[in-house]
Amino acid sequence: MAQPNCSAASTGFTPINDLGKGVFTNAWNVTWQGGLYPNGSNYLPSAHKSAGIQMASQVQYLDAKGNQDAVTGKIVWLSIGMSNGTQETQQFIPIANALAQKNPKLTLVDGAQGGQTAGIITTSFNSNYLTFWNTVNTRLSNSGVTANQVQVIWVKEADVAGGAPIKNYYDSLVVRFKRITHEIKTRFPNVRLCYLSSRISARYATSTLNPEPYSYYTGWAIKKVIEDQINGDPQLAYSGPNAKSPWLSWGIYMWTDGSTPQITNPNIFWNCSTDFQNDGTHPSTTGAKKVGNLLLSFFSNDSTSASWFTGNLSTITAQTASANYITIYPLPAKDHITIQLAKEIKNGHLYFNDVFGRTIFKLEKLNGQQFNIEKTHLPCGIYFMQLSSGDKHYLTQKIIIE
């Protein structure tokens, strides 16, 4: 039986996030600047981040027809992609569902499917095109939800390389990623957010399916599409009457040179003997679980996802708002808000962020106590209240202060 090529030499490539403001000269002698986002940065530009947080604030509990229903409505997170995508989603979903802080009204659905490349799912005359999208709808139905309830998408896609010229592979993948956003916007009318992730390493691959350097260039194609949206490409408009795409950002950049960890994110590295199947291209169960945990960390903590992933979107309008770890009263407030933390909260941090992600007020190093917040510190408005301690996230709660 074939085994991954664990003796494969280094690719010589640097992860895009580790490049930062450095540059990479591609196979056709064009220089690209690193960084996941424009100007060599690994952080969302402020305007695009604010737009993403606004989109996140519009995520609501929806019924099967797409109408708001705070009682029985749901939020649907859906994966779209190929074999690696479904293998990793199948590990992510049980890990996420086991999280005590996960939003109980959030339904996670695996729409990714083996062998379904970017070319297949965006080419309507391809015989497998309708099969893919019909299977997505079937999986939604089997999960008790509809396309109208899908508001968040995770995309992990690639194409079969087969020895194609690198430039042709990259150029076609950029076009197909954009077409995927159009398919998503058309098929899921209430979609708000779309997160894209790169391939894991293919340094140890033993087939022509998607070896290096194609896997590496997949990340550059994603970077290009996200930058095009940030720079105002009308084909990627995400708001207004001519919207053709959801709002886009990186989900996780998962490529690194095999077992060599990223400098920027040392948790990302891929061991040949444990993280891959025999072809060196698909993740083993261990490798897929590693991705699942990375996804859990991302969606639990990112400023555009924590509110709907771990939070309860129900607006607090009762006199007392209570979670397992915190009690707030009275709401709506007139002069001040009283907050009571559970005794088990040690060295807690409480942040009140506005819909643009800006921290309006914060309290730190809290230890199971009661205290008041004056309205002079927290004016009327919508806030996302986040309670954490160290690496543990307890709660993200949307509140309205009148």
185 Rama sector, left if φ>0, alpha if ψ -120 to 50, beta otherwise: alpha
Query: Angle, nearest 10°, between helix axes 127-142 and 166-187?
Result: 50
**DSSP β-ladder status, 193-196 and 370-374:** unpaired
Any idea which residue has 């297949």 for tokens?
A: 120
pLDDT at 317: 30
Distance from C-alpha of 263 to C-alpha of 14, rounded to nearest angstrom: 10
pLDDT at 220: 98
pLDDT along the chain (402 residues), means of 10: 89 98 98 98 93 90 95 96 98 94 95 98 94 98 98 98 96 98 98 97 96 98 98 96 96 97 95 97 98 94 89 43 58 66 77 73 81 74 74 66 66
pLDDT at 400: 65
pLDDT at 352: 82
Amino acid at the residue 110: D
pLDDT at 321: 35
DSSP state of 8: P
Compute the 3-state secondary structure of the chain and give helix, strand, coil in percent, each to the nearest 5: 30, 25, 45
pLDDT at 311: 72
pLDDT at 402: 64
Compute the C-alpha angle 80/82/87, nearest 5°: 90
pLDDT at 357: 64
Report yes or no: 366 and 395 within 8 Å, Cβ to Cβ.
no
Phi/psi for 283 (5° steps) reads: -75, 145
Q: Chain centroid to CA 250: how far?
A: 7
